Amino acid sequence: MHKTQTPIEVRYQETDQMGVVYHANYLVWFEIGRTKYIESLGLVYTDIEKNNIVSPVVDAQISFKKPVHYGEKATVETWIDQYDGLRTVYAYQITKENGEIAVSGTTKHVIVHKESFRPLSLRKAFPEWHRIYLKQVNGES
């Protein structure tokens, strides 16, 4: 299974008064990891957007295990957990620089027309993405 590792340097504005990363920022880090993952597959998300298509998050699950503090470095590991031609579930694991797992989670996405938000089949609208995503969930290179 193909996974990417994206380094993150914790910035001051990402932390709360306790000096730990504010919980909502982990979702931003998920997005950073997801973008790098898509790029690592040779795909470009803006190619979808050029067709007035966007990929909103329809569900997000997150589990907090250890806090990440200002000044620390972390890594977002990203992979496709599930894909059925319509919905894609990306999985994430954020690891602290000492190797401890800080956060894990998933986000579920669909693609929709930007104006109507009418769902589309990734399989039909972007067959190359579909082929590559199928290979990922089937464990092929």
Which residue numbers are catalytic? 16
CB neighbour class for 94 (10 Å; exposed up to 12, middle 13-18, buried from 19): buried
DSSP annotation string for 108-119: EE-EEETTT--E
- Cα angle: 39, vertex 54, 15; to 5 degrees: 70
133 vs 141: CA distance, rounded Å: 11
